[in-house]
Structure 1
Amino acid sequence: MSPASPTSSSSSASHASHASPSPLASHDSEEAVALARGDDAYERIRHDVLTCVIMPGAVVSEAELMRRYGIARTSCRVALVRLVHEGFARAIPRQGYRISPITLADVEEIFTLRAQIEPMAARLACGNVDTELLQRLDEACEAPFADKPIDHQIEWFLRTNRKFHLTIAAASGNARLYRTLAGLMDDMARLVSLGFGVQGVRPRIEHDHESIIGALVTGNAPRAEALARQHIETFLQQTKEHVFASLSASGTWLPYLSIADLRK
């Protein structure tokens, strides 16, 4: 038998390269798609938990969430497992999942931790932080949105305020401090959404940011530390007042009402 010609060898190789993917490759691809869908479901549901679109204390079922977000059961379970792990929900046998409630004790605990780590972050960030970036974030935080719904104003505030504080934390050079504060800022989002969102007012603390930036620009670490602590103490009083008002107005029915309902 004569040896195969170069042309036939090339043709065989070309045919092999266009062959159907192996079952293993197909399985890996399906897993990647499933993971991506689970991540997307988690991000969407988590956003609504943090902004109190899904109210604290509410009991939700997998079937309800699947309908609401147009997701499959597997994606829904991935999202819920992650939310439980983060402490934003807990499983209730034969009922579903309860979204973690908010209490005044939560306000105290979150702000107590912030008061410990953020002044330290401000002191460590002196000489390392991008103060021009902080200035831009502060200006964005103060941007007027009088023509927008209050929910939009609060969500914008939460996003820009979070970036402001985490920029300082990142410049501290302490990765654990940064991760801890990032978690606290997520907890803060629920406090602000419930307290200020129900009351229909936007937080007014941006001038504190200007003072902190001024201390960081001049490299005055003790002053930056003191101003960061003062800022947190001021916002604590505002937040506690508004959360208390929202909880008082809702009574025991808070889990069953939306923020819009509670404003009526």
Structure 2
Amino acid sequence: MPRIATEKQKCLSRVAYDRIKVMILQKELMPGQFINESQLQETLELGRTPVREAVLALAQDRLVTIHPRKGIEVTRPTPKDIHDIFEIRGIMEPAILRQCCGMVDPQWAVDMRALLQGHADDTASNAGETAAPLIDLDNRFHLELVDVFHNQYASNLMRSLVDFLNLIRVTAWSADRYQTSNREHIDILDAILEKDVDRACRLMEEHIQLSYQEAIHTMMHASF
């Protein structure tokens, strides 16, 4: 019986974690906003323990910051955060792509290109499309390219960046950046399919640098 209770508690903690994370990434909870566990318990209709465990996990993932006697702050990425995460991506991803460009499955590249192009076409005719599908595709594009390298440390590092990258995107990207980034992904895939390694790596470097510049520019002009 105790084991069943423990498993149920873990499940509820995961539910709480996922729901709070969605609230952050959909900006229902805004960067810099202070919340407390009682508010979260009421909103989520969950008990104290799963909410507390979820908050601790979110703090470990840097999506929230716990301030003793003040409350829980939704993380607001700083310019240093943005610089550091894009700096390591700018070093790692083009280098990995250069090593494994010839190993990329052409069918994967064709299928991914079709998905990206489909969203580009949909958005052209539907300005109300949310950014969420493009964020998911953005993550898939970068994660799956790194996975081609078959290096568990590189893959684990890339996955460890995803949630905070998503926070940067929803906090410090303009609406237009999602579609521009989408087109940049398509150009990189075209270069991969044409087996033009130098061009693919150059486009990847430019893509990461442009994403960084957009995030910094928006952050500097944002008011939270």
Same fold (TM over 0.5): yes
Q: What's 1:157 paired with?
A: 134
State yes or no: 1:40 paired with 2:18: no
Q: What's 1:117 paired with?
A: 92
Q: What's 2:181 paired with?
A: 205
* Count of aligned residue pairs for this structure pair: 219
Cα deviation, 1:123-142, whole Å, max 9, x if unaligned, reads: 23323223223223322442
Structure 2 contact 41–51 (Cα < 8 Å) conserved: yes
Structure 1 counterpart of 2:216, one-letter code: K
| Offset of residue 172 of structure 1 | 1.5
Determine the C-alpha separation between the residues in 1 that align with 2:67 and 2:190. 49
State yes or no: 1:132 paired with 2:110: yes
Q: What's 2:148 paired with?
A: 171
Structure 2 contact 61–163 (Cα < 8 Å) conserved: no
| Offset of residue 51 of structure 1 | 3.7
Q: In structure 2, which of residues 28, 32, 43 is the aligned counterpart of residue 57 of structure 1? A: 32
Cα deviation, 1:181-232, whole Å, max 9, x if unaligned, reads: 2232322212221223xx5545222222222112222333333222211111
State yes or no: 1:184 paired with 2:161: yes
| Offset of residue 50 of structure 1 | 3.2
Question: Is the alpha carbon distance of 1:143 and 1:164 closer, same or farther for their aligned partners in structure 2, counting shifts above 3 Å?
Answer: farther
Structure 2 contact 172–214 (Cα < 8 Å) conserved: no
Structure 1 contact 57–101 (Cα < 8 Å) conserved: yes
**What TM-score does the superposition give when structure 1 sets the normalisation length?**
0.75
Determine the C-alpha separation between the residues in 2 that align with 1:93 and 1:202. 37
How well do the aligned residues superpose, as a CA RMSD in angstroms?
Answer: 2.1
Determine the C-alpha separation between the residues in 2 that align with 1:162 and 1:206. 11
Structure 2 counterpart of 1:121, one-letter code: I
| Offset of residue 245 of structure 1 | 2.1
**What TM-score does the superposition give when structure 2 sets the normalisation length?**
0.87
Determine the C-alpha separation between the residues in 2 that align with 1:36 and 1:143. 39
Unaligned runs of 5+ in 1: 1-25, 255-264
Q: How does 1:8-157 map to 2 (within 5 A)?
A: 26-129=1-104, 130-145=108-123, 147=126, 149=128, 153-157=130-134
Unaligned runs of 5+ in 2: none
Question: Is the alpha carbon distance of 1:195 and 1:227 closer, same or farther for their aligned partners in structure 2, counting shifts above 3 Å?
Answer: same
Structure 1 counterpart of 2:142, one-letter code: H
Q: What's 1:216 paired with?
A: 192
Q: How does 1:185-264 map to 2 (within 5 A)?
A: 185-196=162-173, 200-203=175-178, 204-246=180-222, 250=223, 254=224
Structure 2 contact 146–154 (Cα < 8 Å) conserved: yes
Question: Is the alpha carbon distance of 1:171 and 1:113 closer, same or farther for their aligned partners in structure 2, counting shifts above 3 Å?
Answer: same
| Offset of residue 92 of structure 1 | 1.7
Determine the C-alpha separation between the residues in 2 that align with 1:245 and 1:177. 33
Determine the C-alpha separation between the residues in 2 that align with 1:76 and 1:236. 33
